[in-house]
Amino acid sequence: MKVYLGCDHGGLNIKNAIIEYLKENGMDYTDFGCYTDESVDYPVYAYKVATAVADDNTSLGILCCGTGIGISMAANKVKGIRAAVCTNEFMAEMTRRHNNSNIIALGGRIIDEPTAVKLADIFLNTEFEGDRHTKRVDMITAIENGTFEV
Ligand code: RB5
């Protein structure tokens, strides 16, 4: 499974820690930047990762900014993306099991590096449960497509 990563300056440290984990585990990844702590605009990196993930439904994405919020909001504007901000292990697990999230968004000013690596590990190694959750995720897609009817 391919993993796409991106961050702004606020998420650089945790993204780098996650990349070390991916390397140690021989995982296939592409890092779209940023690569320094110079101030940058998080929507740029959200867009790069989100479009890559949307084009490959076998892939997952990891986005990091200061809080995880802005970069997730931008990513969720790309059709087919379900990006979830996660701050603990339960969220990282459940957003895969129930929401079939395809991007996890993490905050470098919210969680430390070991926690970021742990949440990424859980996210990448947890499967969507399907069943009753499929209907709900399909409803999200219908909202996105303008076809949702209540
Ligand atoms: C950048 O200062 C900061 O606004 C950004 O990293 C992120 O936290 C936005 O949601």
Do the domain assignments include residue 71? yes
pLDDT for position 81: 98
pLDDT for position 67: 98
pLDDT tier at 70 (50, 70, 90 boundaries)? very high
Do the domain assignments include residue 11? yes
pLDDT digits (tens, 9 = 90+) for 78-128: 999 999 999 999 999 999 999 999 999 999 999 999 999 999 999 999 999
Catalytic residue among 7, 34, 65, 86: 65
pLDDT for position 15: 99
CA distance 129 to 119: 18
- Give the count of beta carbons closer than 10 Å to the beta carbon of residue 124: 19
Q: In what order do the strands lie in the sheet with 103-107?
A: 28-31, 2-7, 60-65, 103-107, 83-85
Do the domain assignments include residue 150? no
**What is the tally of structural domains in the chain?**
1
pLDDT tier at 68 (50, 70, 90 boundaries)? very high
Do 148 and 136 contact (CB within 8 A), yes or no? no
Distance 42 CA to ligand 1 centre (A): 7
Do the domain assignments include residue 44? yes
Tell me, using a 6 A CB cutoff, whether residue 67 lines ligand 1: yes
Distance 64 CA to ligand 1 centre (A): 9
What sign does the dihedral 31-18-78-70 (CA atoms) show?
A: negative
The verdict on pTM exceeding 0.75 is yes
pLDDT for position 43: 98
Segments forming the whole domain that contains residue 34: 2-145
pLDDT for position 19: 98
Looking at residue 117, which CATH number applies to its domain?
3.40.1400.10
Distance 72 CA to ligand 1 centre (A): 11
CA distance 11 to 109: 8
pLDDT digits (tens, 9 = 90+) for 1-58: 999 999 999 999 999 999 999 999 999 999 999 999 999 999 999 999 999 999 999 9
86 classed as catalytic: no
pLDDT for position 25: 98
How far is Cα of residue 62 from the mean position of the Cα atoms in its chain? 4
Give ∠ CA 121-102-135 in degrees, rounded to 5.
Answer: 120
Find the helix or strand (DSSP H, E) in which 119 lies: helix 113-124
133 classed as catalytic: no
Tell me, using a 6 A CB cutoff, whether residue 6 lines ligand 1: no
DSSP secondary structure letters along 26-89? T-EEEE----SSS---HHHHHHHHHHHHHH-TT-EEEEEESSSHHHHHHHTTSTT--EEE--SH
pLDDT for position 88: 98
Do the domain assignments include residue 119? yes
